[in-house]
Structure 1
């Protein structure tokens, strides 16, 4: 596993040491990327010897199979990564990357695994995160595994599973009457107050918000390594990615850059499509208007809870990637998203998350319009298991439990006495 050479600001390219915990660039508040000595890695990374790579990585089917391009630390792991690549039954060149197979049921496990791993490496004791839901559940799980306190702020109307996760894992959970932007403001205010009132530095919370620390991107980039390896070390023609904060899309683009530098993959990078709900579409709106930065999306509302991010911190990076790749940022209505959830469940046997269904809705639309060909090889991300959204999806369907449940259930029967 490689040592980190330095952290680099994505905006001004200022270099920062990785010897101590870092948040944003001290010069311009840009996000920091982890950088390695790629020339040295070319001589040590396992892909140089495919036989050795196959033999060694076969015993490690999680994301740490890519430990050659991850920080040199002891992982806090719950067996995250190496999720299935499911071929569609109706579209022979379409593959669904099923991130619901991760611990806590979503792709957020990857980023929080790396962030918590590094927090433990640095000796941090308190981690805080504003979340649209799934990042909170993942932080709670990994913090519990690491023995670190987790402080979670979520909108009060997130899927109930997200609230339950935080409580079950023993996190400090605050439900907020607002959006993730309000949660982020509250986290920032709490940390500022702790510092101003002289709180013991070891007890001050460390903010691991999206793109406000460098390691969630490192965890998410493993999706890029996986999809390329699972396709025989070849790029697909396009990647469809549900985009709220956009860390996964950003991480995959970083992975492609690293793999090319290492000689692990060649050819044209895939077109990157960022998919949103029309009820909260700041990136898609900015893309359509030809802007380089999004504006705050007022009155954000969608049952795709993970897409309800009215102003992504990495909007500039997302828009740059989408345009550089020849892709697009697109938004679809909740009605179209729900229709795609039901279609894929009935026709493919896959219960998509609402966020994942934004991507399938986009695929169907672009195939119908001719902007995408059936011969194009496409990887589409289902970022979480549909079962985590049973309350949200049922509400969108106007579905209620039939009949009346008994107030108590008999315990007796075959195993125990009546």
Structure 2
């Protein structure tokens, strides 16, 4: 496993120590990236060792198969990562990365799995997160596995599964009449009040928000390693990624940089597409307007709950990556998202999350305009299992549970007793 050399600010490039828990850059409040001694890693981290190590050791399964480029710690793991890469039945170049196969049913397991691992390493006892839903469920699960207390703040209209997860895993759950931005404010206010009250350090919450600590990016970067390995250590032409907070996109770009430095992959990096819902599209709007950062998106509303992030903390990083890569940031209406859910369920056998359906909607739109060819190699991320959103999707479909059931039910050709 890799020894951390330092933490580097993505904005001003100031370096700080990773010996103690860190949140943001102390100079400019930029997000911190984990940096390793790449000269040493070139000597010790070998691409050909990954599969053999994973086959030989239970602790190197899932995303931990990439332990040679992850922090040197004992994992808190529930089996996250190494999710299926499904080849489309209709488009020869399309691959769907099924992140719904992760623990708690979404890609959030990767980032929170690593963040909680490091929290346990540092001896933290209370973790707090504002969440649009899925990060809350993942934090609750991994905190329970690590013996750490989780404090969750999420909008009251998140998918019901997210609320149930938090309660079942024993987290302290607060439902908020507002958006994730309101939840973030409440977390910050609680931490400030604890410090002003001279609460014992061990009892003060640690904010594990998106891009406000360094290790969620490290967990998410494993998606980049995986997609390249699963394609035979080659880049695809493009990556389509649903973007709320955008940590997955940022993490994959970091993975590409590391793999190139290690000599694990060559060639042109993929075009990166950041996909949003029209009802909350700060990044797509900023991209369209040519701005370096987004503005707070007013009156955010979409049934793609994970995309209701009116002002991502890493918006400038996301926009820079999209532009560097030659990709785009695009937004689609809830009607288009729902249509894509139904289309891919019927024709591909995949129940997409609403977030994942922004990516399929984008892919189909670009195929229709000729911007993409069906033979272009594209990896599209379904960031969560559609079954976590049954209440939201049913509502969008105006679908209700049947009021009455048949008095007798056919089973295997036999009518059961009434």
Please classify the TM superposition score into its range, dividing by the shorter chain length. over 0.9
The number of equivalent residue pairs is 403
Matched residue SS, 2:7: strand
Deviation at 1:375, TM superposition (A): 1.6
Coordinate RMSD, CA, aligned: 0.9
Q: 1:53: which partner in 2?
A: 50
Distance in 2 separating the partners of 1:61 and 1:149: 26
Counterpart in the other structure of 2:197: 197
Residue 373 (structure 1) shift:
1.4
Q: Which residues of 2 match residues 277-296 of structure 1 at below 5 A? A: 277-296=277-296
- 1:120 is aligned to 120
Report the 3-state secondary structure (helix = DSSP H, G, I; strand = E; otherwise coil) of the residue aligned with 1:259: helix
Q: Output one character per residue of 1:124-147: Cα deviation in whole Å (capped at 9) or x when no partner.
A: 000000000000000000000000
Hey, what does 2:309 align to over in structure 1?
Answer: 309
1:165-244 matches, within 5 Å, as 165-244=165-244
1:36-51 aligned at under 5 Å gives the runs: 36-47=36-47, 50=48
Deviating more after overlay: 368-377 vs 13-22: 368-377
- Per the TM alignment, residue 405 of structure 1 is displaced from its structure 2 partner at its CA by 6.8
Aligned equivalents of 2:265 and 2:352: distance in 1?
A: 30
**1:313-343 superposed Cα distances (whole Å, 9 cap, x missing partner):** 0000000000000000000000000000000
Report how far residue 61 of structure 1 moved. Answer: 3.5
* SS across alignment from 2:71: coil
- Which residues in structure 2 correspond to 1:3-18 (within 5 Å)? 3-18=3-18
Q: Secondary structure at 1:221's aligned position in 2?
A: helix
1:259 maps to what in 2? Answer: 259
Deviation per residue, 1:270-308 (Å, 9 max, x gap): 000000000000000000000000000000000000000
C-alpha distance in 1 between matches for 2:146 and 2:50: 29
- Equivalent-residue separation in structure 2 for 1:405 and 1:176 (angstroms): 36
Residues of 1 paired with 2:19 and 2:46: CA distance?
Answer: 26
CA–CA distance in 1 between the matches of 2:50 and 2:317? 32
> Cα distance, 1:82 vs. partner?
0.0
**Paired residues for 1:3-402 under 5 Å:** 3-47=3-47, 50=48, 52-59=49-56, 60-402=60-402
Unaligned runs of at least 5 residues, structure 2: 407-418
1:8 is paired with a residue whose SS is: strand
Q: CA offset at residue 56 of structure 1?
A: 1.7
1:35-78 CA-partner distances (Å, limit 9, x unpaired) = 0000000000021xx2x433222344400000000000000000
Deviations, residues 370-409 of structure 1 (Å, cap 9, x unaligned): 1111121000000000000000000000000012479xxx
Alpha carbons 2:51, 2:65 under 8 Å: kept:
no
Contact 2:8 2:14 in 1 (8 A): yes
**Mapped partners of 2:30, 2:405: distance in 1:** 53
Q: Distance in 1 between matches of 2:293 and 2:287?
A: 9
Deviation at 1:223, TM superposition (A): 0.1
Distance (Å, rounded) in 1 between the aligned partners of 2:287 and 2:159: 29
1:170-217 Cα distance to aligned partner (Å, 9 max, x none): 000000000000000000000000000110110000000000000000
Cα distance in 1, alignment partners of residues 240 and 336 from structure 2: 16
Match of 1:362, SS?
helix
Could you tell me how far apart the structure 1 residues matched to 2:375 and 2:69 are? Answer: 32
CA contact (8 A) 2:279 2:333 kept: yes
Task: Give secondary structure in 1 for the equivalent of 2:173.
Answer: strand
Corresponding residue SS for 1:58: helix
TM-score, normalisation: structure 1: 0.96
